[in-house]
Amino acid sequence: MDQIRLTWLAVVGVVLTTAAGGAAAAGKTELVANGEFESPACPPGGFGFCGTESIGSSWTTTTPAGFELWAEGALFGLPEPPSPTIGADGHPTGQHLEVNPDTVTHTFAVPSSLVDPSATFSFDAWLRIAGSGTYEVTGSSSGTLVETTVMSLSTTAWTAHVHSLSVLPGETILITFIGIGTAGENPHIDQVSFTVDVPEPMPTLSFWSATLLPLLLVLGGLRLAASGRRLA
């Protein structure tokens, strides 16, 4: 078998492998919008209330003044300590949200192209002074995914909360956080995340035309040239 024929077989193998891989490959997709609460920006070292739509329409709060965002390391006032600047993942926290003695919710849809029901829900929590807080997760088709759970809280560090779940394609997920205590004695949350696996898109026509088609044309030309030499 000549070298050109071997090259043709190699190209066909690449095409078939790429097509099969594109159909089966999947990547982690984040479904929570603004789960790190970096928008809108707070004054450095400060905090403040935002309008009810300021951090995204998929977030709601029953706090009349709106969402209370804190900057990284914000200090309310002595003798209260500032918020810890390093999160449970070992990285700077950036901004975070005080739940207050109210309810904060976030809703989103699971992609209908879901290929694996496995999902991961996680967030960090810190207790400013006292009080407590709970959280729960429900799916419009799956029902209760995380039962009402009391947060693990510390006044000196952020604590990670992680749950492995199973969800259904196309359903709507509702995450609920509730602060328990008086004003100012409530948990803060940060790094709210909900990830699933969805298929990577197949290579587009422009990908084939820009990469493989020129190669095929070159190899075709070489094949014709070789055939011409043999006939001569």
**DSSP states of 88-153 as a string?**
TTSSB---EEE--SSEEEEEEE--TT--EEEEEEEEEEEESSS-EEEEEEEETTTEEEEEEEEPP-
Residue 185's pLDDT is what? 78
Tell me: pLDDT of 232 over 90: no
Number of domains in the chain: 1
Q: Is residue 210 part of a domain?
A: no
- Report the range of poorest mean pLDDT among 55-59, 72-76, 131-135, 170-174: 72-76
pLDDT at 187 over 60: yes
Q: Return the CATH number at 79.
A: 2.60.120.260
DSSP string, 70-83: E-TT---STTSPPP
**Is 225 a domain residue?**
no
User: Residue 165 above 90 pLDDT?
Assistant: yes
Report the percent of the chain where pLDDT is more than 90: 53
In this structure, how many other beta carbons lie within 10 angstroms of the beta carbon of residue 128? 22
**Structure-model confidence comparison of residues 2 and 126, the more confident one:** 126
Overall average pLDDT of the 69-78 stretch: 85
More confident: 209 or 72: 72
| 140 part of a folded domain | yes
Which residue has tokens 């300590």?
81
In a domain, 117, yes or no: yes
- For the record, the structure tokens of 75 come out as 């200090």
| The predicted structure's pLDDT at residue 75 | 80
pLDDT at 103: 95
Put simply, whether the predicted model's pTM sits higher than 0.85 gets the answer: no
| The pLDDT value given to residue 140 | 98
What is the average per-residue pLDDT within 198-203? 67
Side chain identity at 181, as an amino acid letter?
G
The mean pLDDT value of the chain amounts to 82
What's the rounded Cα separation, in Å, for the pair 83 and 229? 78
The model's pLDDT over 10-39, given as tens digits with 9 standing for 90+, comes to 554 545 444 444 445 567 899 999 999 999
Nearest-angstrom CA–CA distance, 118 and 128: 33
Is 13 within the bounds of a domain? no
Enclosing domain of residue 74: 26-198
Q: Which of 33-37, 161-165, 180-184 has the lowest mean pLDDT?
A: 180-184
Mean pLDDT, residues 87-108 taken together? 95
Assigned domain for 216 exists: no
Tell me the three state secondary structure of residue 95: coil
The H or E element containing residue 143 is: strand 143-150
Residue 126 lies in a domain: yes
11, two tokens: 């190209």
How far apart, in whole angstroms, are the C-alpha atoms of residue 40 and residue 54?
7
User: What string of DSSP letters covers 154-220?
Assistant: -SSS-EEEEEEEE--TTPEEEEEEEEESSTT-SEEEEEEEEEEEEEPPPPPHHHIIIIIHHHHHHHH
Confirm whether 4 is domain-assigned.
no
Residue 52, burial from CB neighbour count under 10 angstroms (0-12, 13-18, 19+): middle
Of residues 42 and 92, which shows the higher confidence score?
92
